Amino acid sequence: MNDAQLLRYARHILLDELGIEGQERLLAARVLIVGAGGLGSPAAMYLASAGVGTIVLADNDVVEISNLQRQIMHNTSRLGQLKAESGRQTMLALNPELKVEIRTTRMDPHSLDQEISQVDVVLDCTDNFATRHAVNRACVQYAKPLVSGAGIRFEGQVSVFDPRDPQAPCYHCLFPEADDVEALNCATTGVFAPLVGIIGSMQAAEALKIIAAIGTTLKGRLLILDALDMQWHSVKVKRDLGCIVCASRPHA
């Protein structure tokens, strides 16, 4: 690190658990964030400010006025702009030393394979089950840790699915893919603005811990927030040895 970086990341470096070695891991890391909305906004901004060297931001949507109640990476002057480009501008304004790559077409299995095979961590900040399951399948295939978040109304969820651990569940173990699952979204049910900020920030924290190899992640646990009563619940999640996505992985 140069003198400017030592100054910028000084408060990280002062942490015994992180230090210079951990910060250098962040600077060398490549992370994929799928979704630049309510969850992706705080996640991307914190990863950028923390010094993750390369961030790939994928979103094919544009900024709409109804987004601005909670999607803090965007602003009124960027209405109609691609969210990925708006996010890139915000991240570089926070930290111009970063390399930010954007993907503005909808991620399909082929593009997910290409992107996920090249990164250290994936953050799923999407709002639909089809994309979440596609991201999970690619993460299992390439043994990449997945930080998954969700938020609707006043309830948020966050967990880590780490296929590098033979005992760890994947997303499909917890939420099996099914045709009859009703997909809730913010446009029809609403969402409390700070909720996605809390969950997205936690996704950033888990990703930073994974990259720096510090602390204990949410692997094997689903953390649920009731923001209306501000109550947290932690649920243990076991691997399903019959899971059609990760059953072929070795297990302990």
For residue 113, give its domain range: 3-236
Instruction: Output helix, strand, coil percentages for the chain, rounded to the nearest 5.
Output: 40, 20, 40
3-state secondary structure of 26: helix
Interior/surface letters 148-168, b for 16+ CB within 10 angstroms, e for the rest: bbbbbebbbbbbbbbbebeeb
Q: Is the distance from CB of 34 to CB of 58 less than 8 angstroms? A: yes
Mean pLDDT of 220-249: 94
DSSP state of 243: -
* Percent of the chain whose pLDDT exceeds 90: 89
Q: What is the pLDDT of residues 24-67, one digit of tens each?
A: 999 999 999 999 999 999 999 999 999 999 999 999 999 999 99
For 216, residues 6+ apart whose C-beta sits below 8 A from its C-beta are none
Residue 152: inside a domain: yes
Q: What is the pLDDT of residues 151-175, one digit of tens each?
A: 999 999 999 999 999 999 999 999 9
Q: Residue 248: which pLDDT band, with cuts at 50, 70 and 90?
A: confident
Q: d(Cα 173, Cα 191) in Å, to the nearest integer?
A: 26
Q: Where are the beta strands (DSSP E) in 68-153?
A: 99-103, 121-124, 146-152
Catalytic-residue membership of 139: no
Residue 20: inside a domain: yes
- Of the given ranges (24-28, 128-132, 180-184, 204-208), which has the lowest mean pLDDT? 180-184
Mean pLDDT of 208-234: 97
What is the rounded end-to-end Cα distance, in angstroms, of the chain? 40
Query: Which of 181, 176, 167, 182 is CA-nearest to residue 133?
Result: 176
pLDDT at 222: 98
The residue type found at 19 is: G
pLDDT at 75: 97
- Of the given ranges (21-30, 142-151, 187-196), which has the lowest mean pLDDT? 187-196
pLDDT at 182 over 90: no
Q: Which among 139, 170, 186, 243 is annotated as catalytic?
A: 186
The residue type found at 69 is: Q
Residue 251: inside a domain: no
Angle, CA 170 vertex, CA 135 and CA 188 arms, to 5°: 55
Task: Transcribe 35-47 into DSSP letters.
Answer: --STTHHHHHHHH
Q: d(Cα 246, Cα 141) in Å, to the nearest integer?
A: 8
What is the count of structural domains for the chain? 1
Residue 48: inside a domain: yes
Residue 252: inside a domain: no
Residue 128: inside a domain: yes
Residue 60: inside a domain: yes
Q: Residue 251: which pLDDT band, with cuts at 50, 70 and 90?
A: low
pLDDT at 179: 55
Query: What average pLDDT is seen over the chain?
Result: 94
Mean pLDDT of 81-106: 97
Whichever domain contains 177, its CATH number is: 3.40.50.720
Residue 242: inside a domain: no
Q: d(Cα 216, Cα 85) in Å, to the nearest integer?
A: 33
